[in-house]
């Protein structure tokens, strides 16, 4: 647990996501997941939604990460996963059915839904449900 009385210098982790098609990746996060591009350069952008952020970069060199393999790569904790899912559902419905799962309760006390991101890996939103017992 965090010691709320102690000054914390860490306040956010911002993963880099390398995508094979930068423009398609940016459109996915902006048009489907509701992020905004707060800063952009050619082949790079800083995407934000509420207090979550991702740094996206086009995967243009062969020595960078290979395309995704449908594993968990990004997990975003949210206050109300069902409300977020309801907001995004009209846009999620435009994705291939196998690219979206949930929302559902998991045995590890999370309620979550996920989508296949532009890099081919799962991008999952989850809510702590320990207090729902």
Domain assignment of residue 6, yes or no: no
Domain assignment of residue 10, yes or no: no
Number of domains the chain is built from: 1
Backbone angles phi, psi at 107, to 5 degrees: -65, -15
CATH number reported for the structural domain that contains residue 30 in this entry: 3.10.180.10
Q: Per residue in 28-74, pLDDT tens?
A: 999 999 999 999 998 999 999 998 999 998 876 665 556 666 666 78
**For residue 127, what are the domain limits?**
16-60+70-132
For residues 112 and 59, give the distance between their C-alpha atoms in angstroms, rounded to a whole number.
28
Whether the CB-CB separation of 47 and 41 falls below 8 Å is answered with no
Domain assignment of residue 107, yes or no: yes
Q: What are the C-alpha distances in Å from 35 to residues 20, 67, 104, 106, 124?
A: 19, 22, 23, 26, 14
Domain assignment of residue 127, yes or no: yes
Domain assignment of residue 116, yes or no: yes
Give the tokens for residue 45.
Answer: 């952008």
pTM, to two decimals: 0.78
For residues 51 and 80, give the distance between their C-alpha atoms in angstroms, rounded to a whole number.
14
């Amino acid at each position: 647990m965090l010691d709320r009385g102690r000054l914390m210098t860490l306040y956010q982790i911002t993963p880099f996501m390398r995508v094979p098609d930068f423009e398609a990746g940016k459109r996915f996060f902006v048009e489907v997941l509701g992020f905004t591009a707060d800063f952009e350069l050619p082949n790079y952008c800083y995407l934000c939604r509420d207090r979550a952020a991702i740094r996206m970069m086009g995967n243009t060199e062969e020595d960078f990460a290979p395309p995704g393999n449908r594993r968990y790569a990004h997990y975003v904790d949210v206050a109300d996963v069902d409300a977020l899912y309801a907001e995004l559902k009209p846009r999620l419905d435009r994705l291939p059915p196998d690219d979206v799962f949930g929302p559902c309760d998991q045995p590890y006390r999370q309620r979550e839904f996920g989508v296949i991101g532009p890099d081919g890996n799962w991008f999952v939103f989850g809510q702590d449900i320990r207090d729902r017992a």
